[in-house]
């Protein structure tokens, strides 16, 4: 579920499964959510045409990969939908180029305002690059000439958290059912279910709730992660 500005704050959900730490912490700090627990992670990858015009396969890290895309003015397709993936991509752009404020003025940079599947389809059609989570990529059936061209940077780790919407702001929240679900997700049973999930035989999510009793401790992000 996307942690956008209005949807969770309106109380349209009881529980959020989200993956952008800064937005999550602000959501809880501002009183909209309670009981945030990190429960699993996967990672982001950069995909693009297998001809790789920006030569991402020689990039030293994700910032270098983004700089190569900018330097060669290779087409980059952004979700542009305020999702966790979109926000993470903007963080990489801020580190990669100094003129990130005017990013949308570049003809090679395209924001499409779409979900990940649609963005991948547009990327394929435009023979461009995009940032995607590995699970969506594994499930994507229309890869064509697209391939993973950069992966493995610790900054590309993609943690997922679960948050209960605050009942003091939204009286209709189903606290009991939400609590049962959250407790199950961080339990040994829920964590085993996460680890057993496969896409085309590949494990794409890795459970990391520390305490199986319902009060997990968050694992720190890699040092220097934006």
Q: What is the pLDDT of residues 16-75, one digit of tens each?
A: 888 887 887 788 888 788 778 889 999 999 999 999 999 999 999 999 999 999 999 999
Backbone angles phi, psi at 136, to 5 degrees: -65, -40
CA neighbor of 112 nearest in space, from 74, 94, 86: 86
User: In percent, how much of the chain has pLDDT > 90?
Assistant: 61
Q: Are strands 130-133 and 33-49 parallel, antiparallel or unpaired?
A: antiparallel
Q: What is the CATH number of domain 44-151?
A: 3.40.190.10
Torsion sign, CA atoms 226, 7, 121, 100: negative
pLDDT of amino acid 9: 54
- Comparison of pLDDT for 1 and 208, the residue scoring more: 208
Superfamily for the 1-42+168-226 domain: Periplasmic binding protein-like II (3.40.190.10)
Q: Is the pLDDT reported for residue 216 higher than 90?
A: no
**Tokens 């209005």 identify what position?**
6
Q: How confident is the model over 143-167, as a mean pLDDT?
A: 93
Q: Is the pLDDT reported for residue 91 higher than 50?
A: yes
Q: Could you please report the per-residue DSSP string of 151-169?
A: ---GGGEEEEEEEEEPTTT
What is the biggest distance separating any 2 CA atoms in the chain, rounded to whole angstroms? 54
Instruction: Report d(CA 172, CA 8) in Å as an integer.
Output: 13
Instruction: Determine whether 146 is exposed, middle or buried from the number of CB atoms within 10 Å of its CB (0-12, 13-18, 19+).
Output: buried
- Residue-range domain boundaries for the chain: 1-42+168-226, 44-151
pLDDT of amino acid 29: 84
């Amino acid at each position: 579920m996307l942690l956008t500005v209005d949807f969770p704050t309106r109380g349209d959900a009881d529980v959020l499964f989200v993956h952008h730490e800064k937005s999550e912490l602000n959501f809880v700090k501002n009183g909209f959510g309670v009981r945030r627990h990190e429960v699993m992670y996967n990672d982001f990858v950069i995909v693009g045409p297998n001809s790789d015009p920006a030569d991402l396969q020689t990039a030293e890290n994700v910032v270098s990969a983004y700089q190569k895309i900018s330097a060669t003015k290779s087409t980059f397709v952004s979700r542009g939908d305020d999702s966790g993936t979109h926000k993470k991509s903007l963080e990489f752009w801020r580190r990669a180029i100094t003129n990130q404020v005017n990013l949308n003025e570049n003809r090679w940079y395209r924001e499409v305002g779409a979900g990940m599947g649609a963005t991948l389809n547009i990327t394929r059609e435009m023979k461009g690059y995009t940032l995607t989570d590995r699970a969506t990529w594994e499930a994507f059936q229309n890869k064509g000439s697209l391939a993973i061209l950069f992966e493995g940077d610790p900054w590309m780790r993609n943690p997922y958290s679960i948050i209960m919407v605050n009942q003091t702001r939204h009286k209709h929240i189903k606290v009991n059912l939400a609590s049962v679900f959250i407790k199950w997700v961080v339990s040994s049973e829920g964590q085993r279910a996460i680890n057993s999930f496969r896409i085309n035989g590949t494990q794409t999510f890795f459970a990391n709730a520390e305490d199986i009793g319902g009060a997990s401790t968050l694992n720190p992000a890699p040092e220097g992660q934006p």
